[in-house]
Amino acid sequence: MPKPYDRTATGRDGHHPRRGELIGREAEMARIAAALDAGRSGRGGAVFVIGEPGVGKTRLAAEAVAEAAGAGMITARGRVSGVGPSVPYRPLMEVLLLLARDGLLPEPGELGRYGPVLGHLLTDTGGTGAGAASPIMVAETVLRAVTLIGRRGCLLVLDDLHEADAATLAAVEYLLDNIAHQRAVLLLVAGREPCAATELAARAGQRGAASTVDLRPLGGPDVHLLVAAELGIAPAEVGGRLVQRALNSSAGIPFVVKELVRDFTLHALDDIPMPSVPSAVADSVRRRAERLGPLGQEFLGMAALFAGRLPLPVLQHAIGCDHRELSAILRACLASSLIVADGPGAQGYAFRYPLAAQALLDDLGPGERAGYARRAARAVAELHPGLPGVWCARAAELHGQAGDSGQAIRLYCEAAERATTDAAAPLLIRAHELIEPGTVPELRATVVEQLLDAVAHSARFDQVPALVATLENLDGEHGVPAQRRAGMHARLAGIATLMGRPAQALRHHDIARWLLGSRPEPAQAALVDLAAAQTELNRFAPDRLSTAAGFARRAVAAAERADLPAVVCEALLVLGQLACEQDESAATTYFMRACAIAHARALPALRVSAEAHLARIAMRHDGRAAAFEQARQDALRMGVLPLAHESGAILALDEIRRGEFEAARDRIHETAAEAARLGLGRALSLLRLADAVRYAHQGRRAEMQDALERLAPLLDAAPGVRSMAYGLARGFCSLLEDQHEDAEREFAQALAYDAENPAAVDFGRHGIVLLLGVLSGRMGRRHYADAMRASAAAARWNRPFAGLADAVLLGREGRFAEATAAASAALEAAEIYPVARHLCLRLVARSAYEDGWGAPVDWLREAEEYFHGRGLQAVAGACRALLRRMGAPVRQRRTGTEQVPPDLRRCGITVREFEVARLLAERMGNKDIAVRLHISPRTVEKHVASLLQKTGHPNRAAFAGAAPGLLTGSGPAVPVRV
């Protein structure tokens, strides 16, 4: 049995690959090792190693030589040279010379009539005498020499056979057909391009004379190991971004990966910029391109101007060749492995790896490159009138490479207007990079304005410093008018708001207002008023919401006069958000109007924003988050990142209310990390608030306090969040700890903060604060009616609290049936919010008991069961204490409680009663049960009576009939009286 190749260079099982180790070729080496084993045992054979340049053919052959030498085999290597005149049989001559140098060859006389051929092969390196010998004679001479020296086995490696002459390949073919009974293995290395050597490999494979190992590029995990090995560090120390850059730039070709790594340093590996083309890679690309002739080189140079799939019609038009010539060029380029088939059905072509295109561009002189770019740009314009789709951006890139920066900037701006949000920012960044001192001020201003809008939607805040610097250079006698610069500062104010930097927002707004002057144009006035509305929301003042609404209405009016649909939409979105808590109908109207404008005027980012707000309103009503989650996914896909991350915080709060704490944790941590990386300060404050609320709703005060400390540095930039932190987090946590006085103080503090700086999002004013006020007697029917006038009270999260507040008031008014009905509706709305539902049961049970409505005993038992199961002992204990005051049996919390089915626990069945119930189900009598449980028959009788009373069964027989379902929890629930 051949032994498997066992050299480890995988980086797995704790092994760290070292530089020079073979990586990612375990399967290929196992096949070669099997051939070596067979050769040593007298079953000679041949293996072709086929692959593109740089894929590691020669490296695999070296590993095979090492493996053979380690097994005691004689090894020798020869290669065909592509330099100088062709020498027939050169690789075979090198093999024989190497064996002779090591004193392993027999004397020529030992070979009989093949001795003279051996002599010629060893002495006539010019190939004159050896070339006169027939291929069969040469091959037989080599074969006989191997027979004499190869008693321990012999491995002959013949490299670069794709460069071999016909005589050499004829000799190799003879060896293939006659090596099967020798203790020898041939390892034949050739490129993948169609040639005589690959045809020979195919023929040999068909008749079973040789097998073929087709080397493919390395995958991501193996590239990771190779990078680590070349850097001399453990794989875990190599950053993922570095590996991805190496993989993308090399397409997994080991030679290119190694050359790239040599340009890296060990400092900040994850932040290394992509290096220029390594010289060895550039030389390899250059040599292969030169072999294609002038037309092939022109084709490749022109093709290198394009990223991604090559536009063949454009290239053909630009270089002026016909279809026949283009087909010939393509075949030659494919054979060189500089380009590869790409896409479905191999109908497209692309460069094998990006560095190849860059190397070709680097080889072009500035004038030559500009000329190619002009020709390509002209071809694009002629073949694609109007530059539809991607052609506008491609034409812009070509004009940039041709040195026509003004036209490039215009086309980039045009392409950005057509693009989605995530695609617009890179186009405009490129346009901004092309701005020069001589660029027309009007064009500069257009780029800055469009890029500021793209930055606001895509959160590319890294561009802000450069934009500010450009803006500072737009004034002057021949610069951009002051009012237009006012609009730019207004945009910067909006960006600063998203970043959670209110001081910067206010500064830019003040500059904008000053530049606007006393007679503003409607277009710029609209932008400044919109910025004022956004800035006002971050100002600490009691009237900030109403003031912001006033600015937003002014912005709508001015933007409509100036025909600025994007500004109209943004101002409508602000108005909708401000109206949402008090007048949901008005908010819906604002959002729908914004959505219609965005649809009609092709404003995708604003359309998805409006749709997200509408979906959120729907979620507030029915508690279903699917549509809002879909809107968030749409925002992510389109690159509207501020909206996506703020929506993530809202969805996390919804998951917390539903008791889905693990899902909320994952969402918060993932989204907060990304928001912090992007610099989205406003979204980050909401996410950190959500994290504190998550702990509060689990009664985990210490973790809640830690989360609030992480939130604290952001509070000065987030008016309204402080009141939410008290209402949604601190106050709720105190209620779960059954610290009602603390909760009252914390909710009062939330109301005080809200009075100073009103929150745009409800923090409990129309729900839990109302219920607590009614229970304490501080609020009555008038307060309830006032609260109900706000739309927030109708939100599903608030309906349980508000509904139970109504029930309490109805009970105090003696309207007991109405109170019970109101409680039932409220608890039904609370079904999807388990923590809130059971907290409500605990809060209203005493009032219901004292006034005589509802089912307070059953409610307390259900709440006690829920809170005890979640480790909230303070509120669970309060439930038990209330049950005792009501004279109701209180379940014992002893070992075995968890064995009692939940329905039975809720109706007060104790562990001992459950033990009796199981025996009662077997229709045992009281005496038999007493013997089994070691208790008195009288005690059994009391337990049976209690069981029947708690479960609502008239007699033992009825209970025994229902017992199979009751005792396993699989039957109908025990009726709960409401």
Mean pLDDT of 932-956: 84
What pLDDT was estimated at residue 736?
94
What pLDDT was estimated at residue 934?
65
Q: Give the count of domains, the chain.
A: 3
Mean pLDDT of 165-190: 92
Q: Does 826 map to a domain? A: no
Residue 813 phi/psi, 5° resolution?
A: -85, 0
| pLDDT above 90 (res 521) | yes
Domain boundary among 214, 236, 263: 214
Q: Report the alpha-carbon angle 107-111-114, nearest 5.
A: 115
What is the rounded CA–CA span in Å between residue 802 and residue 806? Answer: 6
Contact 647, 662 (CB under 8 A): no
Q: Which two tokens stand for residue 529?
A: 């008023």
Amino acid at 67: E
Domain CATH code at residue 110: 3.40.50.300
Residue in the block written with tokens 């629930």:
973
Domain boundary among 729, 753, 777: 753
What pLDDT was estimated at residue 307?
80
Q: Report the alpha-carbon angle 873-877-879, nearest 5.
A: 120
Mean pLDDT of 752-777: 87
Contact 401, 369 (CB under 8 A): yes
| pLDDT above 50 (res 9) | no
Residue 48: helix, strand or coil by DSSP?
strand
| pLDDT above 90 (res 173) | yes
Q: Does 589 map to a domain? A: no
Domain of residue 727 covers 640-753
pLDDT confidence bin for 557, thresholds 50/70/90: very high
In tens, the pLDDT along 911-931 reads 778 888 888 888 888 888 887
| pLDDT above 70 (res 12) | no
What is the rounded CA–CA span in Å between residue 258 and residue 280? Answer: 10
Amino acid at 171: A
pLDDT confidence bin for 407, thresholds 50/70/90: very high
| pLDDT above 50 (res 134) | yes
pLDDT confidence bin for 976, thresholds 50/70/90: very low
Residue 15: how many other CB atoms lie within 10 Å:
14
What pLDDT was estimated at residue 181?
86
CA distances from 910 to 502, 654, 922, 943 (A): 59, 36, 19, 9
In tens, the pLDDT along 776-792 reads 999 999 999 998 998 88
Mean pLDDT of 352-360: 90
Residue 74 phi/psi, 5° resolution?
A: -80, 135
Q: Does 660 map to a domain? A: yes
What is the rounded CA–CA span in Å between residue 604 and residue 457? Answer: 11
Mean pLDDT, the chain, whole residue set: 88
Mean pLDDT of 527-539: 91
Q: Does 685 map to a domain? A: yes
Helices (H), 50-165: 57-70, 90-101, 115-123, 128-132, 135-149
% of the chain exceeding 90 in pLDDT: 60
In tens, the pLDDT along 182-226 reads 899 999 999 888 889 999 999 999 999 999 999 999 998 999 999
Range name among 456-460, 607-611, 668-672, 892-896 with the lowest pLDDT average = 892-896
Q: Does 480 map to a domain? A: no
Domain boundary among 214, 244, 278: 214
Q: Does 940 map to a domain? A: yes
The distance of Cα 68 from the centroid of its chain, to the nearest Å, equals 46
Range name among 312-321, 335-344, 845-854 with the lowest pLDDT average = 335-344
Q: Does 55 map to a domain? A: yes
To 10 degrees, the CA torsion angle through 837, 841, 842, 845? Answer: 170
- pTM comes to 0.74
pLDDT confidence bin for 894, thresholds 50/70/90: low
pLDDT confidence bin for 11, thresholds 50/70/90: very low
What pLDDT was estimated at residue 269?
47
The residue ranking higher by pLDDT, 906 or 583, is 583
% of the chain exceeding 70 in pLDDT: 93
| pLDDT above 80 (res 749) | yes
| pLDDT above 80 (res 272) | no
What pLDDT was estimated at residue 132?
58
Mean pLDDT of 514-520: 90
pLDDT confidence bin for 125, thresholds 50/70/90: low
In tens, the pLDDT along 14-71 reads 566 777 788 899 999 999 999 999 999 989 999 999 999 999 999 999 999 999 999 9
CA distances from 432 to 401, 444, 470, 471, 797 (A): 15, 8, 9, 12, 47
Residue 381: how many other CB atoms lie within 10 Å:
16
Domain CATH code at residue 918: 1.10.10.10
What pLDDT was estimated at residue 2?
43
To 10 degrees, the CA torsion angle through 379, 380, 382, 388? Answer: 180
Residue 796 phi/psi, 5° resolution?
A: -60, -35
Domain CATH code at residue 668: 1.25.40
Q: Does 298 map to a domain? A: no
Cβ neighbours for 974, distance < 8 A, ≥ 6 positions apart = 903, 904, 906, 907, 950, 951, 952, 966
Range name among 94-103, 513-522, 924-933, 940-949 with the lowest pLDDT average = 924-933
pLDDT confidence bin for 515, thresholds 50/70/90: very high
Residue 59: how many other CB atoms lie within 10 Å:
18
Residue 777: helix, strand or coil by DSSP?
coil
Using CA of residue 201, residue 204, residue 208, residue 210, what is the dihedral sign?
A: negative
Which of 6, 56, 50 has the alpha carbon at shortest distance from 222?
56
What pLDDT was estimated at residue 18?
76
What is the rounded CA–CA span in Å between residue 861 and residue 880? Answer: 8
What pLDDT was estimated at residue 454?
93
What is the rounded CA–CA span in Å between residue 456 and residue 490? Answer: 12
